[in-house]
Amino acid sequence: MSPFYDPFVGFNIMSTLFPIMFFLVFGIIIFSAIKSLSVSMHNNKQPIIPVEAKIVTKRYDVSHLRHHHGDNMHHHSSSSTSYFATFEMPNGERMELKVPSNEFGMMVEGDSGTLQFQGTRFITSSISD
């Protein structure tokens, strides 16, 4: 056996890495929660603004999550879809807002009307052709 061989060197590395990774993941979760709360509080303080706008473009983002159990025989998956619309104001300013699915389905690119938003939050629209 070599005098430089230490059978516990792997345990020393894990005893260092595990707490670092734990606090890193925990920190990311806390940071995300605080950021989400601050954006929500900021939006709540903003006035609801009605403005004439035209729908310039629409898009959606589908997120997939797959979870496998230990035996790899059972798994479940889920997906969620977020809908976004870009609105153009008369002054040329554009704003992309997350919109509910029922509103998204009724929107057509090129339609115009009144948009109501609060900060970065979509409230409602009466946009039609």
- The number of beta carbons lying within 10 Å of the beta carbon of residue 100 is 10
pLDDT digits (tens, 9 = 90+) for 33-68: 999 999 999 999 999 999 999 999 999 999 988 877
Query: 53 exposed, middle or buried (CB, 10 Å; 0-12, 13-18, 19+)?
Result: buried
The tokens describing 84, both together, are 């976004």
The band of 10, judged by pLDDT with boundaries at 50, 70 and 90, is low
The CA distances from residue 73 to 41, 67, 68, 76, in Å, are: 44, 11, 8, 10
Q: Give yes or no for a contact between 104 and 60, defined as CB atoms under 8 angstroms apart.
A: yes
**pLDDT of 103-115, one tens digit each?**
999 999 999 999 9
pTM reported for the whole predicted model: 0.72
Q: What is the Cα–Cα distance from 116 to 48, expressed in whole angstroms? A: 6
